[in-house]
A and B are shown apart, each in its own frame.
Chain A
Amino acid sequence: MSQQNQPLIEPIVAANPVTLHVLGICSALAVTTSMSTALVMSAALIFVLTFSNAIISLIRHHIPKSIRLIVQITIIASLVIVVDQILQAYLFDMSKRLSVFVGLIVTNCIVLGRAEAFAMKNKPGSSLLDGIGNGLGYAWILLLIGGVRELFSAGTLMGFSILPLLEDGGWFTPLQVMALPPSAFFLLAMLVWAVRSLRPEQQENVSTIENEEGAP
């Protein structure tokens, strides 16, 4: 059982796409101004990642090597358009707040990365689990950063008031910096630091970094 569920569990912390592989950073910075945008963005990514992994794995034996990336991107892009259309129909305000970032899931390295690294080599069932697992790994980081940023920039979580604002008669003065993109960078860096301190095996080998820097 544990062997079967490994593709689902492992990417959540042990092989997290954001903290270990440092993928999907652009959207992690852009859509984490509030928890609700982070939630919808995560759901969209989980949908795309799960289905792209499953579909690509299903036809993996028949994808010619020469057009491998084109086939993968075609499938991913189509799924992204479908998600975007659904959001515009059912969550119109949210789709306007997410603006271009749903469309940019096409270029999210996690999706193509999992297609290449996992779905092309594994069975549809475990590819599907791998998609969900990596999606969840991305989601909890987005939700955590979104939650911290929303709490300290607006005193709310999911739109509900947690810290009463000074202007509404409370005591909390919002931190403007939390609403700006750099704060997401700092929070993400601290999160990577925390995860890698708890799991030292995720730290990059210093000698390999030096070698890479020396390389042309």
Chain B
Amino acid sequence: MNNFNPLKFWHSFLAMPNANPVKTIGVAFLVALVCSFMVSFTAVTLKPLQDANRLGESVASLTDMLDVLGVGIPEPRLVELSSGAYAKRDPGTQVELLPDQDLAGLGKIETVSTVYELSEGGRIKLVILPVRGAGYKSTLKGYLALKEDLNTIAALTFHQQDETPGMGARIMEKPWQALWAGKQAADENGVIRIEVVKGASEGVHEVDGISGATRTGSGVGDLVQFWLGPQGYGPYLARLKAEGVR
């Protein structure tokens, strides 16, 4: 036998009858290979542009929120989540969450996060916390603004989601987001109670769910609870309260 000749091999492969199982599997494999290459090439090359678009969207959403609340420009601060202390820099590290801690379905979260504080005469008037968590079929990203008592919700907005259009995706609508304003996150004993309920909401800890989007709604409730809790901004908010937000 001569040396293996790839060109000859290719021609004999093409010359095989289409019903031949070797040819069938070969064609399927080649089509899949070429198509996956095409898809991954586009996805990887365009990712920086897409990320920039999403970042622009989150900035626009923050600016919108400030406009609606009618407040000035807040100051961004780095906060170490576990201690609640201000951090000098963001090491970019992440920490794994145990399943029973992971209410928002994130798997792991950053150790240092950026929050936005608005102060007046040395006293905090408003804090804006970036929040995210699992919805029904996508990760929801948004901002939660708390009033000066650090318990009353001033606003909740979302800027990224991929929920079912017309159902879960309605969390993006202003009228639904407006339901959150004025709600209380925790009760008088400090237990975080805020949740999204089916049907009519009662009291200051409940928000009306969207019909047909129960799981997106409970995802939103869970992520707010998570980020206000001990794994999220809980220690930071506790420190602000202890330092005398009064």
Contacts and interface: CB of A to CB of B under 8 A. Distances in A.
Interface of A: 59, 62-67, 70-71, 74-75, 77-78, 81-82, 85-86, 88-90, 92, 99-100
A90 B32 CA distance: 27
Contacts of A66: 19, 24
B53 interface: yes
B28 A67 contact: yes
A81 B40 CA distance: 10
A100 B165 contact: yes
A64 B27 contact: yes
Interface string B10-33: 000010001100011001100110
Contacts of A88: 46, 50, 53
B49 A89 contact: yes
User: What DSSP secondary structure best describes chain B's contact surface?
Assistant: helix
A75 B18 contact: no
B87 to A, nearest CB: 32
B53 A64 contact: no
A67 B24 contact: yes
20 contacts: A62-B18, A62-B23, A64-B18, A64-B19, A65-B18, A71-B27, A78-B35, A78-B36, A78-B39, A81-B42, A82-B38, A85-B42, A85-B43, A85-B46, A89-B46, A89-B53, A90-B49, A92-B53, A99-B165, A100-B165
Enumerate the 6 nearest inter-chain pairs by beta-carbon distance, A residue then B residue, closest first. Answer: A78-B35, A89-B49, A92-B53, A89-B46, A64-B18, A64-B24
B14 A74 contact: no
Contacts of B18: 62-65
A59 B32 CA distance: 14
A90 B48 CA distance: 11
Contacts of B19: 64-66
A54 B203 CA distance: 62
A52 to B, nearest CB: 11
A74 B35 contact: yes
Contacts of B43: 81, 85
Contacts of A82: 38-39, 42
Contacts of A62: 14, 18, 23, 27
B152 to A, nearest CB: 31
Contacts of A64: 18-19, 23-24, 27
A89 B14 CA distance: 38
B31 A74 contact: yes
Contacts of A86: 42, 46
Contacts of A92: 50, 53, 56-57
A144 B32 CA distance: 38
A66 B19 CA distance: 8
A71 B39 CA distance: 15
A6 B190 CA distance: 75
A38 to B, nearest CB: 18
A66 B53 CA distance: 43
Contacts of A71: 27-28, 31
B38 A78 contact: yes
B50 A89 contact: yes
Contacts of B49: 89-90
Given A74-B31, A86-B42, 11 more contacts: A62-B23, A64-B18, A64-B24, A66-B19, A66-B24, A67-B24, A71-B28, A85-B43, A85-B46, A85-B50, A86-B46
B169 to A, nearest CB: 8
Interface in B45-90: 46, 49-50, 53, 56-57
Contacts of B36: 78
A133 to B, nearest CB: 25
A90 B49 CA distance: 8
Nearest to B44: A85
A92 B169 CA distance: 17
